[in-house]
Protein backbone atom coordinates (compact mmCIF):
# COMPACT_ATOMS: atom_id res chain seq x y z
CA UNK A 1 0.00 0.00 0.00
CA UNK A 2 1.42 3.42 -1.01
CA UNK A 3 1.87 5.74 1.94
CA UNK A 4 -0.19 8.91 1.76
CA UNK A 5 2.86 10.91 2.83
CA UNK A 6 2.05 14.10 0.91
CA UNK A 7 -1.63 14.44 1.64
CA UNK A 8 -2.35 17.96 2.94
CA UNK A 9 1.31 18.96 2.81
CA UNK A 10 2.50 22.19 1.18
CA UNK A 11 5.59 22.24 -1.00
CA UNK A 12 7.33 25.13 -2.74
CA UNK A 13 8.85 24.47 -6.18
CA UNK A 14 11.17 27.15 -7.53
CA UNK A 15 11.65 26.95 -11.29
CA UNK A 16 8.25 25.45 -12.02
CA UNK A 17 8.29 26.45 -15.69
CA UNK A 18 11.23 24.18 -16.50
CA UNK A 19 11.37 20.53 -17.53
CA UNK A 20 12.00 19.11 -14.04
CA UNK A 21 10.09 21.72 -12.05
CA UNK A 22 7.00 21.52 -14.23
CA UNK A 23 6.91 17.74 -14.02
CA UNK A 24 7.31 17.90 -10.25
CA UNK A 25 4.26 20.14 -9.87
CA UNK A 26 2.13 17.89 -12.08
CA UNK A 27 3.12 14.63 -10.37
CA UNK A 28 2.96 15.86 -6.79
CA UNK A 29 -0.44 17.51 -7.16
CA UNK A 30 -2.26 15.11 -9.46
CA UNK A 31 -0.77 11.77 -8.39
CA UNK A 32 -0.02 12.32 -4.73
CA UNK A 33 -2.40 15.03 -3.56
CA UNK A 34 0.29 17.42 -2.39
CA UNK A 35 -0.43 21.14 -2.51
CA UNK A 36 2.30 22.89 -4.50
CA UNK A 37 3.05 26.58 -4.91
CA UNK A 38 5.29 27.53 -7.83
CA UNK A 39 5.80 31.29 -7.67
CA UNK A 40 7.11 32.96 -10.80
CA UNK A 41 9.86 35.57 -10.75
CA UNK A 42 7.33 38.41 -10.49
CA UNK A 43 5.93 36.97 -7.26
CA UNK A 44 9.21 35.69 -5.85
CA UNK A 45 12.51 36.91 -7.26
CA UNK A 46 15.52 34.94 -6.06
CA UNK A 47 17.53 38.11 -6.60
CA UNK A 48 15.51 39.91 -3.92
CA UNK A 49 15.92 38.75 -0.32
CA UNK A 50 12.89 40.84 0.73
CA UNK A 51 10.74 38.88 -1.74
CA UNK A 52 11.92 35.62 -0.22
CA UNK A 53 11.26 36.80 3.33
CA UNK A 54 7.77 38.13 2.51
CA UNK A 55 6.78 35.00 0.63
CA UNK A 56 7.83 32.57 3.35
CA UNK A 57 6.40 34.71 6.12
CA UNK A 58 3.03 34.15 4.41
CA UNK A 59 3.52 30.47 3.54
CA UNK A 60 5.02 27.91 5.89
CA UNK A 61 5.90 24.99 3.58
CA UNK A 62 6.78 21.42 4.46
CA UNK A 63 9.64 21.28 1.94
CA UNK A 64 11.38 23.38 -0.72
CA UNK A 65 12.57 22.12 -4.12
CA UNK A 66 14.82 24.41 -6.14
CA UNK A 67 15.15 23.63 -9.86
CA UNK A 68 15.65 27.25 -10.96
CA UNK A 69 18.69 28.56 -12.81
CA UNK A 70 19.58 31.79 -14.55
CA UNK A 71 20.05 31.56 -18.30
CA UNK A 72 23.42 29.92 -18.82
CA UNK A 73 24.72 32.93 -20.75
CA UNK A 74 23.66 35.46 -18.08
CA UNK A 75 26.13 38.06 -16.87
CA UNK A 76 28.11 37.41 -13.65
CA UNK A 77 25.84 39.54 -11.42
CA UNK A 78 22.60 37.85 -12.47
CA UNK A 79 24.15 34.38 -12.33
CA UNK A 80 25.59 34.97 -8.86
CA UNK A 81 22.38 36.43 -7.46
CA UNK A 82 20.01 33.75 -8.83
CA UNK A 83 22.11 30.59 -8.85
CA UNK A 84 24.06 31.20 -5.65
CA UNK A 85 22.60 33.90 -3.39
CA UNK A 86 18.99 32.92 -4.13
CA UNK A 87 19.78 29.27 -3.57
CA UNK A 88 21.48 29.86 -0.22
CA UNK A 89 18.73 32.22 0.96
CA UNK A 90 16.21 29.44 0.27
CA UNK A 91 18.39 27.03 2.23
CA UNK A 92 18.44 29.44 5.18
CA UNK A 93 14.65 29.66 5.07
CA UNK A 94 14.52 25.86 5.14
CA UNK A 95 16.69 25.90 8.29
CA UNK A 96 14.30 28.35 9.98
CA UNK A 97 11.33 26.04 9.33
CA UNK A 98 13.41 22.91 9.94
CA UNK A 99 12.26 21.40 6.64
CA UNK A 100 14.04 19.55 3.79
CA UNK A 101 15.69 21.55 1.04
CA UNK A 102 16.20 19.77 -2.29
CA UNK A 103 18.64 21.41 -4.69
CA UNK A 104 19.08 20.38 -8.32
CA UNK A 105 22.66 20.66 -9.48
CA UNK A 106 24.33 19.63 -12.72
CA UNK A 107 26.98 17.36 -14.18
CA UNK A 108 28.63 20.61 -15.28
CA UNK A 109 30.28 20.75 -11.83
CA UNK A 110 32.26 17.60 -12.70
CA UNK A 111 35.38 17.16 -14.80
CA UNK A 112 35.53 14.98 -17.89
CA UNK A 113 36.03 11.25 -17.37
CA UNK A 114 34.31 7.93 -16.91
CA UNK A 115 32.21 6.68 -14.00
CA UNK A 116 32.60 9.86 -11.93
CA UNK A 117 31.44 9.53 -8.31
CA UNK A 118 29.44 11.97 -6.20
CA UNK A 119 32.60 12.93 -4.29
CA UNK A 120 34.10 14.38 -7.48
CA UNK A 121 33.83 18.15 -7.88
CA UNK A 122 35.68 20.67 -10.00
CA UNK A 123 37.97 22.91 -7.96
CA UNK A 124 36.52 26.40 -7.62
CA UNK A 125 38.47 28.88 -9.75
CA UNK A 126 38.00 32.06 -11.75
CA UNK A 127 38.47 30.09 -14.97
CA UNK A 128 35.13 28.30 -14.65
CA UNK A 129 32.12 29.65 -16.55
CA UNK A 130 29.69 31.75 -14.52
CA UNK A 131 27.12 28.96 -14.56
CA UNK A 132 29.53 26.25 -13.38
CA UNK A 133 31.12 28.54 -10.80
CA UNK A 134 27.72 29.31 -9.24
CA UNK A 135 26.80 25.62 -9.06
CA UNK A 136 30.11 24.61 -7.47
CA UNK A 137 29.81 27.41 -4.90
CA UNK A 138 26.21 26.38 -4.15
CA UNK A 139 27.15 22.78 -3.47
CA UNK A 140 30.05 23.75 -1.22
CA UNK A 141 27.94 26.19 0.81
CA UNK A 142 25.10 23.69 1.26
CA UNK A 143 27.61 21.15 2.57
CA UNK A 144 29.01 23.82 4.90
CA UNK A 145 25.55 24.75 6.23
CA UNK A 146 24.79 21.07 6.85
CA UNK A 147 27.96 20.61 8.90
CA UNK A 148 27.83 23.89 10.82
CA UNK A 149 24.10 24.67 11.17
CA UNK A 150 22.32 21.37 10.58
CA UNK A 151 20.73 22.13 7.18
CA UNK A 152 18.60 19.19 6.01
CA UNK A 153 19.44 19.14 2.30
CA UNK A 154 19.83 16.77 -0.62
CA UNK A 155 21.69 17.63 -3.82
CA UNK A 156 20.49 15.88 -6.97
CA UNK A 157 22.91 16.14 -9.86
CA UNK A 158 21.37 15.68 -13.29
CA UNK A 159 23.27 14.92 -16.48
CA UNK A 160 21.65 15.63 -19.87
CA UNK A 161 17.94 15.67 -19.06
CA UNK A 162 15.36 14.39 -21.55
CA UNK A 163 11.59 14.18 -21.54
CA UNK A 164 8.39 15.80 -22.72
CA UNK A 165 6.93 19.17 -21.75
CA UNK A 166 10.14 21.23 -21.90
CA UNK A 167 8.92 24.46 -23.50
CA UNK A 168 12.42 25.87 -23.82
CA UNK A 169 14.61 24.59 -26.63
CA UNK A 170 17.75 23.74 -24.72
CA UNK A 171 20.04 20.87 -23.84
CA UNK A 172 18.95 17.56 -25.35
CA UNK A 173 15.99 19.23 -27.02
CA UNK A 174 18.30 21.73 -28.74
CA UNK A 175 20.09 18.71 -30.24
CA UNK A 176 16.79 17.24 -31.40
CA UNK A 177 15.70 20.59 -32.84
CA UNK A 178 18.98 21.01 -34.77
CA UNK A 179 18.62 17.57 -36.35
CA UNK A 180 14.93 18.01 -37.19
CA UNK A 181 15.62 21.45 -38.66
CA UNK A 182 18.45 19.93 -40.72
CA UNK A 183 20.82 22.50 -39.22
CA UNK A 184 23.46 19.86 -38.44
CA UNK A 185 25.09 18.83 -41.73
CA UNK A 186 27.65 16.51 -40.13
CA UNK A 187 28.52 15.12 -36.70
CA UNK A 188 29.97 17.68 -34.31
CA UNK A 189 31.45 15.07 -31.98
CA UNK A 190 33.91 12.19 -31.88
CA UNK A 191 33.16 8.56 -32.70
CA UNK A 192 33.46 7.20 -29.15
CA UNK A 193 32.22 10.16 -27.08
CA UNK A 194 29.77 9.12 -24.35
CA UNK A 195 27.64 11.04 -21.86
CA UNK A 196 25.20 10.22 -19.08
CA UNK A 197 21.49 11.03 -19.47
CA UNK A 198 18.75 11.78 -16.92
CA UNK A 199 15.12 10.75 -17.39
CA UNK A 200 13.07 13.75 -16.23
CA UNK A 201 9.95 11.62 -15.73
CA UNK A 202 11.68 9.49 -13.11
CA UNK A 203 12.98 12.44 -11.09
CA UNK A 204 9.51 12.92 -9.59
CA UNK A 205 9.56 9.40 -8.13
CA UNK A 206 13.06 9.94 -6.75
CA UNK A 207 12.02 13.26 -5.22
CA UNK A 208 9.11 11.62 -3.48
CA UNK A 209 11.34 8.86 -2.12
CA UNK A 210 13.97 11.36 -0.98
CA UNK A 211 11.40 13.41 0.92
CA UNK A 212 9.87 10.31 2.52
CA UNK A 213 13.22 8.96 3.70
CA UNK A 214 15.16 11.88 5.16
CA UNK A 215 17.30 9.75 7.48
CA UNK A 216 18.91 8.11 4.45
CA UNK A 217 19.11 11.06 2.06
CA UNK A 218 19.74 14.09 4.29
CA UNK A 219 23.14 15.71 3.74
CA UNK A 220 23.77 13.58 0.65
CA UNK A 221 24.51 14.15 -3.03
CA UNK A 222 23.18 11.75 -5.67
CA UNK A 223 23.75 11.39 -9.38
CA UNK A 224 20.32 10.81 -10.86
CA UNK A 225 21.25 9.31 -14.21
CA UNK A 226 20.38 6.32 -16.35
CA UNK A 227 22.55 3.33 -15.54
CA UNK A 228 24.09 3.05 -19.01
CA UNK A 229 25.88 5.98 -20.68
CA UNK A 230 24.96 6.99 -24.23
CA UNK A 231 27.21 7.23 -27.28
CA UNK A 232 26.47 10.69 -28.69
CA UNK A 233 26.98 9.86 -32.36
CA UNK A 234 24.75 6.78 -32.04
CA UNK A 235 22.02 8.93 -30.48
CA UNK A 236 22.26 11.54 -33.26
CA UNK A 237 22.11 8.91 -36.00
CA UNK A 238 19.18 7.15 -34.30
CA UNK A 239 17.23 10.44 -34.22
CA UNK A 240 18.10 10.96 -37.89
CA UNK A 241 16.76 7.49 -38.71
CA UNK A 242 13.48 8.13 -36.84
CA UNK A 243 13.03 11.38 -38.77
CA UNK A 244 13.90 9.78 -42.10
CA UNK A 245 16.49 12.44 -42.92
CA UNK A 246 19.74 12.33 -44.86
CA UNK A 247 21.59 14.68 -42.52
CA UNK A 248 23.66 14.81 -40.50
CA UNK A 249 26.04 12.81 -42.64
CA UNK A 250 28.14 10.26 -40.81
CA UNK A 251 31.26 12.38 -41.00
CA UNK A 252 32.96 13.57 -37.83
CA UNK A 253 33.93 17.25 -37.76
CA UNK A 254 37.24 17.75 -35.90
CA UNK A 255 37.05 19.91 -32.80
CA UNK A 256 39.46 22.46 -34.27
CA UNK A 257 37.21 22.90 -37.31
CA UNK A 258 34.11 23.19 -35.11
CA UNK A 259 35.71 25.90 -32.99
CA UNK A 260 36.87 27.78 -36.07
CA UNK A 261 33.34 27.69 -37.49
CA UNK A 262 31.87 28.92 -34.22
CA UNK A 263 34.35 31.80 -34.18
CA UNK A 264 33.33 32.81 -37.70
CA UNK A 265 29.64 32.78 -36.72
CA UNK A 266 30.34 34.95 -33.67
CA UNK A 267 32.00 37.56 -35.90
CA UNK A 268 29.07 37.50 -38.34
CA UNK A 269 26.62 38.02 -35.47
CA UNK A 270 28.62 41.03 -34.24
CA UNK A 271 28.43 42.55 -37.73
CA UNK A 272 24.66 41.94 -37.87
CA UNK A 273 24.23 43.69 -34.51
CA UNK A 274 25.83 46.81 -35.97
CA UNK A 275 23.08 46.88 -38.58
CA UNK A 276 20.39 46.51 -35.92
CA UNK A 277 19.68 42.87 -36.71
CA UNK A 278 19.06 40.79 -33.59
CA UNK A 279 20.84 37.45 -33.69
CA UNK A 280 22.46 35.21 -31.13
CA UNK A 281 24.07 31.82 -30.96
CA UNK A 282 22.54 29.08 -28.81
CA UNK A 283 24.03 29.50 -25.33
CA UNK A 284 24.72 25.75 -25.18
CA UNK A 285 27.57 26.32 -27.64
CA UNK A 286 29.65 27.57 -24.73
CA UNK A 287 29.87 23.86 -23.90
CA UNK A 288 30.99 22.89 -27.43
CA UNK A 289 34.10 21.16 -26.11
CA UNK A 290 31.85 18.76 -24.14
CA UNK A 291 30.63 17.35 -27.47
CA UNK A 292 34.19 16.10 -27.95
CA UNK A 293 34.88 14.86 -24.40
CA UNK A 294 33.43 11.88 -22.59
CA UNK A 295 31.74 12.46 -19.25
CA UNK A 296 29.83 9.64 -17.58
CA UNK A 297 28.49 9.71 -14.04
CA UNK A 298 28.46 6.73 -11.71
CA UNK A 299 25.00 5.59 -10.66
CA UNK A 300 26.37 3.12 -8.09
CA UNK A 301 25.29 5.20 -5.09
CA UNK A 302 21.78 5.57 -6.52
CA UNK A 303 21.59 1.85 -7.32
CA UNK A 304 22.73 1.01 -3.80
CA UNK A 305 20.12 3.23 -2.14
CA UNK A 306 16.61 2.19 -1.09
CA UNK A 307 15.13 3.88 -4.17
CA UNK A 308 13.57 1.44 -6.64
CA UNK A 309 13.59 2.53 -10.29
CA UNK A 310 9.96 2.50 -11.52
CA UNK A 311 11.07 1.74 -15.10
CA UNK A 312 14.58 0.25 -15.06
CA UNK A 313 14.58 -0.63 -18.76
CA UNK A 314 13.54 2.84 -19.94
CA UNK A 315 16.27 4.83 -21.71
CA UNK A 316 16.55 7.85 -23.97
CA UNK A 317 16.41 5.43 -26.92
CA UNK A 318 13.20 3.73 -25.78
CA UNK A 319 11.53 7.12 -25.21
CA UNK A 320 12.67 8.67 -28.49
CA UNK A 321 9.47 7.92 -30.47
CA UNK A 322 7.15 9.69 -28.02
CA UNK A 323 9.62 12.55 -27.45
CA UNK A 324 10.07 13.15 -31.17
CA UNK A 325 6.32 12.99 -31.77
CA UNK A 326 5.63 15.48 -28.98
CA UNK A 327 8.26 18.07 -29.91
CA UNK A 328 7.82 17.94 -33.68
CA UNK A 329 4.09 18.51 -33.25
CA UNK A 330 4.70 21.39 -30.86
CA UNK A 331 7.39 23.03 -33.00
CA UNK A 332 5.25 22.73 -36.12
CA UNK A 333 2.27 24.27 -34.38
CA UNK A 334 4.37 27.24 -33.29
CA UNK A 335 5.92 27.58 -36.77
CA UNK A 336 9.37 26.98 -35.35
CA UNK A 337 10.13 24.20 -37.78
CA UNK A 338 8.94 22.99 -41.15
CA UNK A 339 8.74 19.24 -41.63
CA UNK A 340 7.39 17.09 -44.44
CA UNK A 341 5.17 14.90 -42.28
CA UNK A 342 1.68 15.96 -41.24
CA UNK A 343 0.86 17.09 -37.73
CA UNK A 344 0.20 14.30 -35.27
CA UNK A 345 -3.57 14.68 -35.31
CA UNK A 346 -5.43 11.34 -35.13
CA UNK A 347 -8.92 12.92 -35.25
CA UNK A 348 -7.88 15.23 -38.15
CA UNK A 349 -9.35 18.15 -36.25
CA UNK A 350 -6.45 20.46 -37.09
CA UNK A 351 -6.71 19.47 -40.76
CA UNK A 352 -10.45 20.18 -40.84
CA UNK A 353 -9.97 23.42 -38.92
CA UNK A 354 -7.53 24.50 -41.63
CA UNK A 355 -9.45 23.33 -44.71
CA UNK A 356 -13.15 23.03 -43.82
CA UNK A 357 -13.99 24.98 -40.65
CA UNK A 358 -17.68 25.28 -41.54
CA UNK A 359 -18.12 21.51 -41.69
CA UNK A 360 -16.13 21.07 -38.50
CA UNK A 361 -18.27 23.60 -36.61
CA UNK A 362 -21.49 22.02 -37.88
CA UNK A 363 -20.35 18.55 -36.75
CA UNK A 364 -19.45 19.92 -33.32
CA UNK A 365 -22.85 21.56 -32.95
CA UNK A 366 -24.56 18.32 -33.97
CA UNK A 367 -22.34 16.49 -31.44
CA UNK A 368 -20.91 14.29 -34.17
CA UNK A 369 -17.56 15.38 -32.81
CA UNK A 370 -16.76 16.23 -29.24
CA UNK A 371 -13.34 17.86 -29.03
CA UNK A 372 -14.27 19.42 -25.67
CA UNK A 373 -13.81 17.88 -22.31
CA UNK A 374 -17.05 17.09 -20.49
CA UNK A 375 -16.49 18.65 -17.07
CA UNK A 376 -18.05 17.11 -14.00
CA UNK A 377 -17.63 19.62 -11.20
CA UNK A 378 -18.56 19.06 -7.59
CA UNK A 379 -20.84 22.00 -6.84
CA UNK A 380 -20.95 21.60 -3.06
CA UNK A 381 -17.24 21.96 -2.49
CA UNK A 382 -16.38 24.99 -0.36
CA UNK A 383 -14.88 27.71 -2.54
CA UNK A 384 -11.48 29.11 -1.62
CA UNK A 385 -11.62 32.82 -2.39
CA UNK A 386 -7.98 33.40 -1.53
CA UNK A 387 -6.49 33.34 -5.03
CA UNK A 388 -3.06 34.04 -3.57
CA UNK A 389 -3.08 30.48 -2.30
CA UNK A 390 -3.27 29.07 -5.81
CA UNK A 391 -0.17 27.97 -7.78
CA UNK A 392 1.19 30.81 -9.85
pTM of the model: 0.80
Q: What is the pLDDT of residue 157?
A: 96
Backbone angles phi, psi at 14, to 5 degrees: -95, 130
What is the distance between the alpha carbons of residues 351 and 357, in angstroms, rounded to a whole number? 9
The DSSP string of 152-193 is -EEEEEE-EEE-S---S--THHHHHHHHHTT---EE-S-TT-
Backbone angles phi, psi at 196, to 5 degrees: -90, 150
What is the distance between the alpha carbons of residues 46 and 56, in angstroms, rounded to a whole number? 12
**Where is mean pLDDT largest: 100-114, 179-193, 274-288?**
100-114
So where are the chain's domains?
Answer: 10-344, 346-383
Give 296-339 pLDDT, tens digit per residue: 999 999 999 999 998 888 999 988 888 888 888 888 777 777 65
Domain 10-344 classification at class level: alpha beta
Mean pLDDT of 102-131: 91
Q: What is the pLDDT of residue 388?
A: 44
**What's the pLDDT band for 176 if we cut at 50, 70, 90?**
confident
C-alpha dist (Å) from residue 319 to 98, 206, 291: 39, 19, 22
**Quick check: 82 and 70 in contact, CB under 8 A?**
yes
What is the distance between the alpha carbons of residues 120 and 111, in angstroms, rounded to a whole number? 8
Long-range contacts of 243-247 (CB under 8 A, 24+ apart): 243/179, 243/180, 243/324, 243/339, 245/179, 245/180, 245/182, 247/179, 247/182, 247/184, 247/185, 247/186
**How are beta strands 249-252 and 101-106 bridged, if at all?**
unpaired
Amino acid sequence: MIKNFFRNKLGIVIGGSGLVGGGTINFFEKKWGCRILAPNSKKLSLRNADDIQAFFEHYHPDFIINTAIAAIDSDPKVTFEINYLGNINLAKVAMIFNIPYIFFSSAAVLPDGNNLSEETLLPLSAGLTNYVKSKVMSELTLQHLHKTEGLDYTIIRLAIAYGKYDHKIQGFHRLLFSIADEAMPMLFTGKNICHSYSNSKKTQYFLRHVLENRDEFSGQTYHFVDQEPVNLSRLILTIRAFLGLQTPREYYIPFSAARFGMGVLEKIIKVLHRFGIEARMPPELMFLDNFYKTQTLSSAKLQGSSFVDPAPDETVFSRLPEIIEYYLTRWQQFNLISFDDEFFDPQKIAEDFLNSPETLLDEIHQQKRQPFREFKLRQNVKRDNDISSLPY
